[in-house]
Amino acid sequence: MIIIRGRQSETGAAKLADQTYYITTFKKLPAEIRDRNTIIYRMKSLVCITPRQFEYRDIKIPSPEEGYSLIKISRIGICGTDLHAFEGTQPFFNYPRILGHELAAEYISGDAENFKKGERVTFIPYFHCGKCIACRTGKENCCTNIKVCGVHIDGGMAEYLIVPSYSLIHGQQLSLDELALVEPLAIGVHGIRRAEIISGEYVLVVGAGPIGLGTMEFAAIAGAKVIALDINDSRLQFCKEKLKVEHTVNALSEDVSKQLNEITNGDMPTVVIDATGNLNAINNSFRYMAHGARYVLIGLQKGEICISHPEFHKREATLKSSRNATRQDFEHVMNSMKNGHVDPTTYITHRVVFDDVKNEFESWLNPATGVIKAMVEL
């Protein structure tokens, strides 16, 4: 953060630490930012310029227009989407882009009703149009004009961010780490809602990354008997120890179907949920469905899914995608955190300050680092 002390005019240039910054007009910024004795008018941001290239850039603090609010970022959770964007494997993605959508923040200014300055907040990072067929039918999460913050528009890897006022959520005494984890858990909750789980049924969750872990926890809350499938034994161990998942299967073992058959007493899982976004895993999992099962795809990848029509048909299977999450899903997550039903802070394996993200980010692509969730502190 650049802080210029002393009396400055609101336009012109100021010199600090051998760098010249140009002060533009910032009348709309809150008093603390345009206060003449403590002028903060530039902020640090981290821009993903092209795949595998980050650059810290000093940019203007945006000012909130009508319908928008300014928040000061405190935590940024690093997500698969951010990693894929950095790698260059994220569908629907353009560069340069400021990543980051799993945020905990402080409310600074704007027209969000009942929000107070200094209040802890998080937000729903999927901005919707309110007019399209999806929005008109209560499915803002798959709005035809959706703008996902940090994906289609610049996100929260910066000191401040402007967000639509309607997207904000009160922090409700949750910690900053918990607030930054609401969004990834809401993704799992939405998948569970799409699956329409019936208490007591076997739910196979494929992929034990942060999204898969959240999905397993909320499947259990919905009454499911959860089976975790992943290729990484340490992650499966984590499922057993921290999440109390009873059944785990390594996807690399030769007899996955046989193991699932035994666990489910010959029925096979009546719900399969993909949280890998890996084409092979997605294609393989069609075989693990019980007759009459539902298959929900939370994970996303770029290729085309290939299925055996007769295998799918004989099961009278249902295939559903699950995109983003709704406010109802966010609320369910926050209530479950408050009630102590979930403690996703156990997912946090890596913690860095904002200045170190550029250097550390690449290492989080390597599974050998044991990363589940990396958390950035500001």
Tokens of 36: 């003449």
Q: Which is nearer to Zn ion, 13 or 133 (CB)?
A: 133
**Binding flags for Zn ion, 141-180, as an x/- string (CB under 5 A):** --x-------------------------------------
Based on CB atoms, which residue is closest to Zn ion, 171 or 184? 184
Binding-site residue total for Zn ion (CB under 5 A)?
Answer: 8
User: Which one of the spans 138-146, 195-203, 296-304, 364-372 is the region binding Zn ion (CB under 5 A)?
Assistant: 138-146
How many CB atoms are located within 10 Å of the residue 225 CB?
18
Nearer to Zn ion, 143 or 149 (CB): 143
Span of 115-123, 140-148, 242-250, 344-352 interacting with Zn ion by CB under 5 A: 140-148
Residue number, 102 or 201, with CB nearest to Zn ion: 102
**Shortest Å distance, C-beta 187 to Zn ion:** 7
Given the complex with Zn ion, which of 79 and 176 has the nearer CB atom? 79
Q: Minimal distance in Å, beta carbon 282 to Zn ion?
A: 19
> Of 135, 208, 245, 272, which lies in the binding site for Zn ion, with binding defined by CB under 5 A?
135
User: What amino acid occupies position 105?
Assistant: A
Cβ at position 164, least distance to Zn ion in Å: 13
Choice between 49 and 133, CB closer to Zn ion: 133
Asked if 76 interacts with Zn ion (CB under 5 A), we say no
Going residue by residue from 102 to 131, which x/- string records binding to Zn ion, judged by CB under 5 A? x-------------------------xx--
Residue 93 in the binding site for Zn ion (CB under 5 A)? no
Closer by beta carbon to Zn ion, 102 or else 274: 102
Min separation Cβ 245 and Zn ion, Å = 21
Question: Which residues contribute to the site for Zn ion (CB under 5 A)?
Answer: 79, 102, 128-129, 132, 135, 143, 184
